[in-house]
Structure 1
Amino acid sequence: MAEDEQGRTTAEARVPFHVRFWGVRGSIPAPGPKTQRYGGNTPCVEVRCGDELFIFDLGTGVRVLGEELLAAGGPTRASIFLSHYHYDHLQGLPFFTPIFIPRFAFTVYGAPREGRSVKEVLSGQMVHPYFPVTAEDTFKAQLTYKDLGSGQQLELGPARIHTLDLNHPGGNLGYRVECGGRSVVYATDVEVGCEKDTELVEFARDADMLIIDAMYTEDEYRGRKGSAKIGWGHSTWESAVETANKSKVKKLVLFHHDPKRDDDAMDRFVEEVRKHRPETIAAVESEILKL
């Protein structure tokens, strides 16, 4: 069978595979006129491989994704992969309209934490007195919950999905999606500087795209500008570049932008990174990247 210049078979290369960003901001939403170009929603990333829809994280961006699914008439089936349960990665769930509609079906994957399953964790965020309605009473979509751990592998349609536990307070799963001879790694909320660094480099080895936490500059992280952020579970653009270089990934995508960094500051941020990796981009809401 014929192969292209990347060694993919003709059939593999024809499988549609893209990434779309619905939320790119870290820690807290940052709406307003100064963040319109890059976006102010918290993490939510759509990955489509053939007919499979994968949703990574349920930050505030998932609300807009839900509106898109309703307007487009589907798909009505998707797999949701949670990196971890810090609130900026979950706060869109109660406002994700399809989850209240019976014709939709979702399989939700996430790691058990502190003795609780992914189902128990998600249900626990919608309880009185913190929220007016509960998940059990209001979620009408067909829901399946599956616990997932580091080092596991799933095959869903034409896609193969791998997991890796990353360095973040409370734990955090990174994901690698392989589809049609191409691959994308989603590694949000990771702090380098420990024994897990080598694991991440190998996990991302030769990926076509690496979407990675690059919240700070080295000066911000070390406290040379403002208070130090060491131990907070996030990385710098310098460490993102180093990981991308060691992994030999083709495209570096900066993610989990600091909510205090407005559009003009993000432009300067990306310009500096491109001095070291010219193909680097920063994730932008609504942008579609084809693999």
Structure 2
Amino acid sequence: MGVGDELLIFDLGTGARPLGEHLVAQAKAVQASIFLSHYHYDHLQGLPFFTPIFMPQNAFTFYGSPRNGQCLKEILSGQMTQPYFPVTAEGVFRAQLDYHDVHAGERVTVGSASISTLELNHPGGNLGYRVECDGRSVVYATDIEQSEEGDARFFAFAKGADLLIYDSMYTEDEYCGRHGPARTGWGHSTWQAAVRAANESQAKTLVLFHHDPARDDAGMTRLLRQVRKHRPEAIAAREHMTLHVK
């Protein structure tokens, strides 16, 4: 996410590798703030393959919540150790790195952007982020499961967002177990819950996110068609998609 001259990166899944190659191709030093929602593999496994982090001219500031008695730096280092990975972060990362532990409810300032945080309903914990800059706002809510108590807090957190990026992994039938095993308690949401979140928070544009990896493009087209009966402006996130918030 570009905010003026600042680059904000949210999570480091497999997309971190092509992002890194794109940044290196610009042939200039990279400076960015990286906000991690949580540390499940699908949100972190791109870190060891993020090329700019191996180059000393680059600088990155990491933000994320301490979990299970470990600070952010310990958590990131811990996922690059034997027998899981051949080299350590301390041994191969050459960029200038800073680490900032962030707790739910805290606010971070990066350049002209203000980033606020909220604990979301997900096994092991997960931070949602709201970015505000120049009168515009984007809410990033990956890995959230609907819950009566948590929903009200989230609607207030996302109030009036220009862009709401929201977990919409399942259909209601999939979530409840009418099609396949029940997914309740797995930490993910439905497109119906995404629509409700957008409506209740009065978000301007809903972006469906964290798709079920078993759902192909045709399935996503069908799902989006259903969502647009309720939210005509809704967008299904795709790889390499660029959105401009005006």
Q: 2:7·2:33 contact (CA, 8 Å) conserved in 1? A: yes
Match of 2:25 in 1: 71
CA contact (8 A) 2:29 2:57 kept: no
The equivalent position to 1:277 in structure 2, one of 211, 231, 242, is 231
Partner of 1:144: 98
Aligned-partner SS, 1:177: strand
Q: Of 201, 204, 208, which aligns to 1:250?
A: 204
* Structure 1 residue matching 2:146: 3-state secondary structure: coil
Distance 1:94 1:226, change over 3 A: same
Q: What TM-score do the two structures reach when normalised by structure 2? A: 0.98
Structure 1 residue 56 corresponds to structure 2 residue 10: yes
Give secondary structure in 2 for the equivalent of 1:239.
helix
Cα RMSD of the aligned pairs, angstroms, is 0.7
Alignment of 1:80-91 (within 5 A): 80-91=34-45
The answer as to 2:92 corresponding to 1:135 is no
Paired residues for 1:107-256 under 5 Å: 107-256=61-210
Q: CA deviation at 1:157?
A: 1.0
Taking the aligned partners of 1:234 and 1:244, their CA distance within structure 2 comes to 16
- Displacement of 1:194: 3.2
Task: Find the aligned partners of 2:118 and 2:149 in 1 and give their Cα distance.
Answer: 13
C-alpha displacement at 1:154, in angstroms?
Answer: 1.4
Aligned 1:35-50 pairs, distance under 5 A: 47-50=1-4
Once the two structures are superposed, what CA deviation does each residue of 1:102-158 show, in whole Å capped at 9, x if it has no partner?
A: 001000000000000010000000001111101010011000011001111112111
Which amino acid is 1:222 matched to? C
Q: What displacement does 1:202 show?
A: 0.5
Counterpart secondary structure, 2:243: strand
1:73 positional shift: 2.3
Percent of matched pairs sharing the same residue: 64
**How many pairs align?**
245
Q: Deviations over 1:234-278 (max 9, x none)?
A: 000000000100000000000001000001111001001101111
How far apart are the structure 2 equivalents of 1:238 and 1:96?
A: 34
Give unmatched runs, 5+ long, in structure 1. 1-46
CA distance in 2, matches of 1:74, 1:277: 41
Provide closer, same or farther for how the CA distance between residues 290 and 148 of structure 1 changes in structure 2, counting only shifts above 3 A: same
Is the contact made by 2:54 and 2:93 (CA closer than 8 Å) also made in structure 1? yes
Amino acid corresponding to residue 18 of structure 2 in structure 1: V
**CA separation in 1, counterparts of 2:19 and 2:96?**
18
Identify which of structures 1 and 2 has the higher relative contact order when contacts are C-alpha pairs closer than 8 Å and 6+ apart. 1
